[in-house]
Amino acid sequence: MDYNQNALTAPSTNNWLDPFAAARTNYGNSSFNVPNRLVGYVLYKFPSPVSRSKWWSYLVNDWSFDDSYQFQSGLPYSYGTNTGATSNNSAAVAGLTGWNSTGLGTYIPLPGLGRNSLKYPRHMVDDVKIEKDLAFRERYKLQLILSCFNVANHQNIDGLNTTAYNLAATGATTGSATFQSAFGTVSSSNNSGFLYTPRDVEIAFKFNF
């Protein structure tokens, strides 16, 4: 929980809902709040049952299996607005007739919905690596590596349409708020660099001497 502090490397002000009110009015879920996170890994080297004097030991011996698994709650996000008016924004908010376009008939400020009161879907990643070592004499070793990232090809959503209302001033003291039907729909998934990607397979060779 925090007061909507920024976490930017460049200088920036805190993005408060109301900078003139008490700090408590800005209190809510942190943008980096992850209440549930599970990480586990397995490193297993299979036994080598065949004597190295046998030729088929190159096929049977020196296999290993690694697996890492990550699961966590989605990050929070807020009901957003797309303000069409460049001035008199308060009038646009005052013209709000209903959170879901059904006509509540009373004025409720957008902060009443709460900051970061919504969550992205969960994120899940399972990475697997299989390795085979081939030893030649005592000095040389060839490693054959097969890695599969996000082996189950889980969809990890990293982008949502967060614009809930389009606000516009229609007069000096009046305005309108239109609910956006695309709110909450997916705009991007498995598109965050090395962290969340679609299923990806890597074949590698390493020679040690």
Per-residue pLDDT tens over the stretch 6-55: 767 776 566 666 667 777 777 888 888 999 999 999 999 999 888 877 87
pLDDT at 173: 62
Query: Which residues touch 79 (CB under 8 Å, ≥6 apart)?
Result: 110, 113, 117, 118, 162, 164, 165, 183
Per-residue pLDDT tens over the stretch 54-76: 877 888 888 999 999 999 999 99
Q: Of the ranges 26-35, 65-74, 82-91, 129-138, which one carries the lowest mean pLDDT score?
A: 82-91
Given a cut of 60, whether residue 109 has pLDDT beyond it is no
pLDDT at 106: 34
Given a cut of 80, whether residue 117 has pLDDT beyond it is yes
Among candidates 16, 169, 164, 160, which has minimal Cα distance to 81? 164
Cα-flanking dihedrals φ and ψ of residue 78, to 5°?
-115, 165
Q: Return the higher-pLDDT residue of 101 and 27.
A: 27
Domain boundaries, given as residue ranges, for the chain: 1-30, 33-208
pTM, rounded to two decimals: 0.71
Given a cut of 70, whether residue 130 has pLDDT beyond it is yes
